[in-house]
Structure 1
Amino acid sequence: MAVSFCGRIASTQRNLLKIPKRHGYIVLLPEIGEESSEKNPLLKDDNLPEFNTITIEKCIAAIGKQTVEFEEKMKSLENVETKRDLDIFKDWLDPIEDTYLPLETTWGIAKTLYFGNQSLMPTKCYMGIHERATRAVASKYGSAPLFKACKEALDNKNIKLTHLQRRVLIKYVLEGTLNGLQLQDKEFDKYTGDLSYILSKNKEYKAKYESSTGAYSMTVHNKDVVRDFPEDFLRSIATDPKRPFLGPWKITLKPYILKPFMEHCPDRELRAAIWDADVTRCSIYQERSVQASVTLEELRGRRIEQAQRLGYKHYAEMSMETKMAGNLENLHNTLETLRNTALPVQEQEIASLTEFANERGFNDRLRVWDVAYWSRKQRRSMYNYDENEWRSYFPLPTVLSGLFEHIETLFNVKIVESKKADIWHKDVRFFDVFDLNGSSATPIANFYLDPYARGTEKYRKEQDSGWMSTIKSKSKVGDSTPLIALIFNFPPPVGDKPSLLSFKDVQVLFQKFGHALQHLLTTVEYSDIAGLSFVEWDAVFICDFFMENWLYEPFVLRSISEHYETKQPLPVETMEGIRKMRSHFAGYKLCKELYLSHMDLELHSSETFWVPMMKRLWPQYFALPLEKRDVHVCSFEAIWSGNWAAAYFSKVWSEMIAADLYTAFQEIEIDDKLRQKEMGARFRDTFLSLGGSYPAAEVFRKFRGRDPSPQALLDNLGLTSRAMKEAKKMQLGDR
């Protein structure tokens, strides 16, 4: 992914950065036996992971050996800094990459097991491996001698560098700069003090957030409350998952429970209670031990100081160094353009929803905790949306077959299942990716697919979650081809009945395959800038949203669907419902993301206390008033303990860019297969191929021939046409 200054790594030595322990786990390294003398003891002779025999102990032993080797390699290379006629790639960067790749593979294997089989890789064990690897890799970008050498090589006009080499050096210099390596001794010590302090506050906040989240639960005994709940959701909240309809049912604040509960619960008082528990997490309404208002103020204050030491006005300005948006003025103007269209539509959406609810016996004004419930009912009424009925038309084998066919048509690559790889569970499948542009019978990349939910065995966060775990990156130095794992929580097959996907599941599948293709189809041969490496944070989800856009095309829907029993095609009215449903409550949803994005940027560019800031910004984005007990800033976990400080806008930006890219395909007639193929080839040659070897704005211009516009996103979501209709109504009313 992009270079990262969020959560920069603290240092006690100028030449080797040390990262403080963030979870308090002590990793005891077992003795590394003779079997670990190979470059990577977790790989078979064919260079694929030996998942059949991998254990926690083997992972810990391998990561221990490889991290020590990597750190020793960095130290030994730093000792040759005075060597004359130093070749920055041959003498430094190539050996670093060659030593790093086995470590990356072990780290990726551990992460895959963490997401895919927690009985094989529990959270505590994975976090130990993750932090040990993170600490070792920090030395790549925390080495002052390497930073100096890269900077000198970049500035030296006598050194002949390829474009890719220059881009690698730019990455090292930018990372080093954001790690404070250009600062003088005392200033450097202060800067690393900032980083250490920020990490400690991240950890402090995370502990408070997890405690506050874990402390709350509600038990539901009344069957009437859960009568409309989907079966797979009932199974996830039932005290006995084998008897999901009997109850009782336990409701918590975990995202994959909270969101569907708010959508399906008919009891308004219960919705209000859960909503209140959600938005008061870590606030003054909670016990003192989990209150986080002071912690987050200390955190944002020190982040701003940290940026100022590097010469930036504030942290939000520093954030722009690693963003496609480029600068805050451009970003704010773009977000404001989106808001100006989305807000009037949201006002109409709330009025329409109020009318809909009133017609069905609701006799109060809508409150925030009513929106998810009534909008789901309205969506079902307007588009004849029956989730269970729609599921019957999306059996996973059919969806995958249609997806693979679409990828082949667009990008001229073929995905073929193979039985040669070890797997960590019988449900896991393995695939080769072949380039149809070439004549080689050797796959250019591979991936694992682990599709089904397995209770607590698999990691889960959101209601509709999928994960991509990188195991190998493309590298000429390490003779390495891309290898990833895609892990989902789709309903498992039952008997002869295949896994039936909800439309949300299908969306997640397409998104994650878009993400995966950028890693699998890269042609860049330096792992530091291949695939998703060194792609700006706000560009890293572009291919996700680009692939999802195809789901609203009737010809794609036809190719990925058929009734699992009757084999009948998806009804035309259902396809039309899917297309129209995309715009349902789009104004409200977009405004919510824009509000959180604006709040995040202002928190990291202003010293104003967050409470008045929240009260000022809320009415600019929402038609419903801010509730008195709503203190959601305290539980804005993504920016306080996650990596998204001053970067929360990234998904909206990626979605906007993806919509603009997709319009290039919409401008071509559907039956013009030749031009569609040509456009697909151009997309592959730019966004899927170039990785971080060019800035994302330049890659966009290579594809589109101009700078991006927010208009395509507004059109895609149906907001432009609805805003125009609303404006005409108002004009007629004025007359």
Structure 2
Amino acid sequence: MALSFFRTHIISRHARKQFYQNKRNSGYVVLIPEIGEDADKNTLLSENGLPEFNEMSIEKCIATISKQSLEYENGVRQIEYSAPNCKNAFVEIFQPLEKLDTLLELTWGMAKTLYLGNSSLMPTKSYIQIHERAHNARSTKFTSIPIFQAAVNEKNRLKKLTDEEQRLLDKYILEGKLNGLDIKGTKRERLNNILTSLQKERQIFREKVNTANKLFTTDIRNAELIRQFPESLVKAMTVGNDPERGPWKMTLQSHIYEPFMQYCPDRNLRWNAWQAHVQRCSNYVSKEIETATNLDNIRSYRMEQANILGYETYADMSMETKMAGSVDNVNYILDSLLDSARSMQDAEIELLQRYAKERGFDSKLEWWDIPYWQRKQKWSLYGFDEEKIREYFPLPRVITSLFNLCSTLFKIEIVERTGQVHTWHKDVKFYDIYDDSSNTPIAGFYLDPYARQDQKIRVYDDAGWHISIRNKCTSMSTLPLSALIFNFQAPAEGKPSLLSFNEVGVLFQRFGHSLRHLLTKANYSEVAGLSNVEWDAAEVCGQVMSHWLYDPHTIRAVSGHYNTDEPLPEDIVKNLQNIRSHMAGFNLSRELYFSKLDIELHSRKDFWRDIVRELWPKYNALPFDKYDSHPLSFTKIFSEEWAAAYYCRLWSKMIAADIYSAFEEARKADQDVLAVGKRYKDTFLAVGGSCHPSEVFRRFRGRDPSPHALLKNLGLPKTKVLEE
């Protein structure tokens, strides 16, 4: 999971061309000319060991990454030469590889950070060069037959291995297998051709969807229609420089479409936007940008790829890198959760229909009505509106409370370092982390909290990024280093940065995620922290931290009016659990539907629309629209890296809910909650990818995971299947 951050959140949404080759493909080398300066003189670190971001230029970064990539590839070749005669692969192969990784990934991590922190200093085109060059260099160790064979030999030779050693060998063996290193002859040639063709089809699919998102527009000139829109949405839609006078333009880009559907009072405009959204890239709209052919080709290539590598389906192949382990296990959990969510969905739709009717809505609720009335119902029931409670979440207070919570739970100290830290913007701060047993820092991270116009990437409802700049590596004596980058409102007019409750959740989630990187105890960077964590367990620690916001004591500590320090209204504190479970059956059913659709599309050869029609009534209370072609714009699974893996976020939520329930159980039984915090730190945060997450969970919980806690948090009943 070493590349999970970028493949998951950035690349596929914002690049106009493919940032990297498929991880499973054989690597190839693209030489980047050294631009401007002599690479030998390019040092990107200051004397204190931290990056010199203020001295970092595009030319210097490209020159350095080019030099380091060449050195990396030469280093891999030298290791390959000695691999057949090695006596100890850990000393003669994997430690030298760790050294190569440490140098390359630091520069690569700095480039990622600058791209997200200030894209005016690191434009997309320049970052594409750096990312491709670094990725292609690093992939050479996973496409190396001598290194692959050395890992196999070492595993056969040694009878006793630590968990970490076992995981390290297994990673190289699995990577080699999925790269087809044990495939020879015409099959190997065919596999390479498939992967090349697959890459092209995925790129075309992405470009067509990006075009479709911008192609549809609706001009709005009536200021009354946008009166209740959030300020951020109004600014995003404004044509010209006057948000108050407009005009405003609606597009299908996610940061506009999603909130527009929640706030637009005009039903005809909502219908127009919805039908354009679900018909994107279909023949109903434009034959030039239809993706049905690309979708079929992608599915076909993936199935053939899996067959060549010895798997029955692509979904089966995907399970090799998942905690779930098998398609049957995934389906069992999805079906069990659906048993609870589907019945609740019917009741929720009925209640929402009644609520809308009481407010003058005489039509039957349709898909384009749900987001709008769902938001209004939440406000009516719980007095909860994201935009109206910002004043109770000033960022300085939230950060202080978050750090205090982590210090208490995990016996760490988070201290801001002042002076001698070079950053990419004056708003960026740097923090050292100290363990209770150490007088020197064990890790460090940058925090860049504020939105900056035209400098930072914006994605609706995903306002935070965590970048692993440097992994822990014992042999190289390197400590973990990361960056947290957000798009929160900047202080203005004497007010501090004020967060919505959702943004507070984003901050907690991203910081909890970063702790797995920062507090790792593993020795090899290849399996330290977030590296090598199975995809469906990668977001677990972030989700665990988010659960603390539903603890009344925590939310009271986090909140307070920025001006008067008045506490968050008690009725909202008490209602937070109800807010989380609002229309939970409907929301969970939708997530389950897309997860199941993804699995089925990568397990069967049936026509995609036939699969949709078969699944739809099982998961959705509202009828299927015959023009609905949503799979044709399902970029997550067809152009990003989430094929047969869309369920992963839901799986992580399930595991996280079960983990957090251990804290709740201790609290209710008057047991030591801090003891649970220590156990969590010693397992999930310390072990990272150096042990299989199923085993890590057993060490923490003493049993296998259960979805009961997730259902309880969402206010959904236990299913009959799970009770049995």
Which TM-score band applies after superposition, normalised by the shorter structure?
A: over 0.9
Contact 1:472 1:481 in 2 (8 A): yes
Q: 2:35 aligns with which of 14, 30, 34?
A: 30
Instruction: Select between 564-573 and 385-394 the one with higher mean Cα deviation.
Output: 385-394
Q: Distance in 2 between matches of 1:416 and 1:487?
A: 18
Contact 1:218 1:251 in 2 (8 A): yes
Give the secondary structure class of the aligned counterpart of 1:312. Answer: coil
What's 1:14 paired with? none
Q: Distance in 1 between matches of 2:202 and 2:456?
A: 26
Deviation, structure 1 residue 578 = 2.0
Q: 2:465 aligns with which of 464, 467, 471?
A: 467
Q: Distance in 1 between matches of 2:282 and 2:253?
A: 18
Q: Distance in 1 between matches of 2:68 and 2:633?
A: 37
Q: Deviations over 1:65-93 (max 9, x none)?
A: 1111101111122122343x432122211
Give the secondary structure class of the aligned counterpart of 1:427. Answer: coil
1:708 aligns with 2:710: no
Counterparts of 1:91-170 in structure 2, within 5 Å, are: 91-157=92-158, 161-170=161-170
Counterparts of 1:14-413 in structure 2, within 5 Å, are: 17-19=26-28, 27-30=32-35, 32-33=37-38, 36-37=39-40, 41-83=43-85, 85-157=86-158, 161-240=161-240, 243-413=242-412
1:698 aligns with 2:695: yes
Contact 1:3 1:534 in 2 (8 A): no
Deviation, structure 1 residue 2 = 6.2
Give the secondary structure class of the aligned counterpart of 1:180. Answer: coil
Q: Deviations over 1:303-345 (max 9, x none)?
A: 0111111111100011111111111111111111100000111
Q: Distance in 1 between matches of 2:614 and 2:714?
A: 27
Deviation, structure 1 residue 557 = 0.4
Residues 78/654 of structure 1: CA separation in 2 closer, same or farther (3 Å cut): same
Q: 2:680 aligns with which of 651, 673, 683?
A: 683
**Partner AA of 2:69 in structure 1:** T
Contact 1:686 1:703 in 2 (8 A): yes
Deviation, structure 1 residue 180 = 0.7
What's 2:624 paired with? 626
Q: Deviations over 1:393-415 (max 9, x none)?
A: 00000111111111111111111
TM-score, normalization: structure 2? 0.94
Contact 2:84 2:146 in 1 (8 A): no
Give the secondary structure class of the aligned counterpart of 2:209. Answer: helix
Deviation, structure 1 residue 112 = 0.8
Contact 1:256 1:464 in 2 (8 A): no
Q: Distance in 2 between matches of 1:391 and 1:580?
A: 19
Q: Which runs of 5+ in 2 are unaligned?
A: 9-20
Give the secondary structure class of the aligned counterpart of 2:430. Answer: strand
Contact 2:33 2:63 in 1 (8 A): no
Q: 1:547 aligns with which of 545, 548, 553?
A: 545
Q: Distance in 2 between matches of 1:162 and 1:501?
A: 45
Q: 2:519 aligns with which of 499, 518, 521?
A: 521
What's 1:733 paired with? none
1:450 aligns with 2:442: no
TM-score, normalization: structure 1? 0.93
Contact 2:279 2:285 in 1 (8 A): yes
Deviation, structure 1 residue 577 = 2.3
Q: Distance in 1 between matches of 2:502 and 2:277?
A: 23
Q: Deviations over 1:710-731 (max 9, x none)?
A: 111100111128x99xxxxxxx
Deviation, structure 1 residue 196 = 1.4
Q: Distance in 1 between matches of 2:480 and 2:72?
A: 21
Q: Deviations over 1:272-293 (max 9, x none)?
A: 1111221111111232221110
Deviation, structure 1 residue 388 = 3.6
Give the secondary structure class of the aligned counterpart of 2:479. Answer: coil
**Partner AA of 1:528 in structure 2:** E
Q: Distance in 1 between matches of 2:617 and 2:483?
A: 43
**Partner AA of 1:661 in structure 2:** I
Give the secondary structure class of the aligned counterpart of 1:191. Answer: helix
Contact 1:251 1:257 in 2 (8 A): yes
Deviation, structure 1 residue 148 = 0.6
Give the secondary structure class of the aligned counterpart of 2:690. Answer: coil
Q: Distance in 1 between matches of 2:387 and 2:156?
A: 61
Deviation, structure 1 residue 189 = 1.7
What's 1:729 paired with? none
What's 1:481 paired with? 479
Q: Distance in 2 between matches of 1:647 and 1:240?
A: 41
What's 1:616 paired with? 614
What's 2:11 paired with? none
Q: Distance in 2 between matches of 1:360 and 1:186?
A: 67
Q: Distance in 1 between matches of 2:560 and 2:114?
A: 33
Q: Deviations over 1:550-608 (max 9, x none)?
A: 11110000110110111111121110122210000111111111000000000000000
Deviation, structure 1 residue 686 = 0.5
**Partner AA of 1:715 in structure 2:** K
Give the secondary structure class of the aligned counterpart of 2:414. Answer: strand
**Partner AA of 2:548 in structure 1:** W
Q: Distance in 2 between matches of 1:556 and 1:613?
A: 45
Contact 2:262 2:372 in 1 (8 A): yes
Residues 79/654 of structure 1: CA separation in 2 closer, same or farther (3 Å cut): same
Give the secondary structure class of the aligned counterpart of 2:646. Answer: coil
Q: Distance in 2 between matches of 1:486 and 1:587?
A: 33
Q: Distance in 2 between matches of 1:270 and 1:627?
A: 18
Deviation, structure 1 residue 695 = 0.6
CA RMSD, Structure 1 to Structure 2 (Å): 1.9
Give the secondary structure class of the aligned counterpart of 1:288. Answer: coil
Contact 1:9 1:195 in 2 (8 A): no
What's 1:423 paired with? 423
Instruction: Select between 177-186 and 527-536 the one with higher mean Cα deviation.
Output: 177-186
Contact 2:282 2:632 in 1 (8 A): yes
Percent identity between the two aligned chains: 45
Q: Distance in 2 between matches of 1:177 and 1:648?
A: 23
Q: Which runs of 5+ in 1 are unaligned?
A: 12-16, 725-735
Give the secondary structure class of the aligned counterpart of 1:125. Answer: helix
What's 2:413 paired with? 414
Deviation, structure 1 residue 224 = 1.2
Contact 1:464 1:489 in 2 (8 A): no
Contact 1:9 1:196 in 2 (8 A): no
Contact 2:281 2:633 in 1 (8 A): yes
Q: Deviations over 1:400-443 (max 9, x none)?
A: 1111111111111111111231111111111111111x0x2211
Q: Distance in 1 between matches of 2:55 and 2:92?
A: 37
Q: Distance in 2 between matches of 1:604 and 1:30?
A: 43
Give the secondary structure class of the aligned counterpart of 1:700. Answer: helix
Equivalent pairs counted in the alignment come to 705
Q: Deviations over 1:478-537 (max 9, x none)?
A: 211111111111111103200110011011111101110100010001000000111000
